[in-house]
Structure 1
Amino acid sequence: MKKTRFLTQAAMIAAIYVVLVEAFKPFAYGMVQVRVAEALTILPFFTPAAIPGLTIGVIVSNIIGPYGILDIILGGLATLVAAYLSYKIPKRALVPLPPVLVNAVIIGAMLYYIFLGTPDQMPLLAIMGWVGLGQLIACYGLGYPLIKILDKYGKRIFW
């Protein structure tokens, strides 16, 4: 029963992540991006099933996305690391922080490499800053209120 619940939660989180990325696709990719689905990165605080769920959701979204294998691998890795760190953080106010920092560094560096030598090229720190800002909006602006909602209603969903 416990394993089935874990797998079901992970699959549902992955599916919801992909749907949110696709629904808000114009905002989900690029150097200046706000992935609405990143609000879900607070879910590891409530269930460890969110770690594989978010990772798979990001991998599937990036398979569909424009940046190819580099984004699939690095996006999945960044999400896995950030989700694990969010799972380990005991303070609610800090739960959205790992996805902001990890994605700013890893995805910022990846986008710098992808856009290197193109007219869209920007300095590395600028790209990291823009990615971090988008993550801050998604993770704290949307994710933190989601924590408050799940504090109130989460028992019906996760237990």
Structure 2
Amino acid sequence: MHLSYGLRLPTDVRHVPVVRHLAIATLTELGVSRGSIDDIALAVTEACSNVVQHAGGGDFEVRVSVEGEWCRIEVLDGGAGFDPAEASAAVLAEGPSADLTHGRGLGLMRILVDQLHFEPRDGGTTVVLLKHLVLREGSVLAAAVAAATAPGTSSRTGPGLGPVTEDPR
């Protein structure tokens, strides 16, 4: 099963909850576990909040794709870009502090998802979040995954790779 959608929204803090709630609703209806949904909701909120805070004006885009047991979310901005290693080093240099008001987002996203990477491109940066989904038993998505891996078929899924079913003939 493959589901995907995209949004283009003005870079405004009021649009971050729109992205989060749409992701939550989609994953809930597909039958993803609450833990996986919570992780994705927080990670996508952080990614979108970073765009709003750091990328400047214009629009930002969010692309969500669910393929088998994987969710891929891309957050595209029109900002000048940044070096994630440099950003992390700056936070580490400040040291741990309960008073720290910024800089936790990258580390938090790394904990919440299976893979996090940044793709610089002309006119901005793409943040890619990949999360392996835990599915509720009997859910729509669990049934689709089971059907794709039924005897007589061979199916693989992975980050960024949808179900690839091979005909055994």
Same fold (TM over 0.5): no
Give TM class, smaller chain. Answer: 0.3 to 0.5
TM-score by length of 2: 0.38
More strand by percentage = 2
More helix by percentage = 1
TM-score by length of 1: 0.40
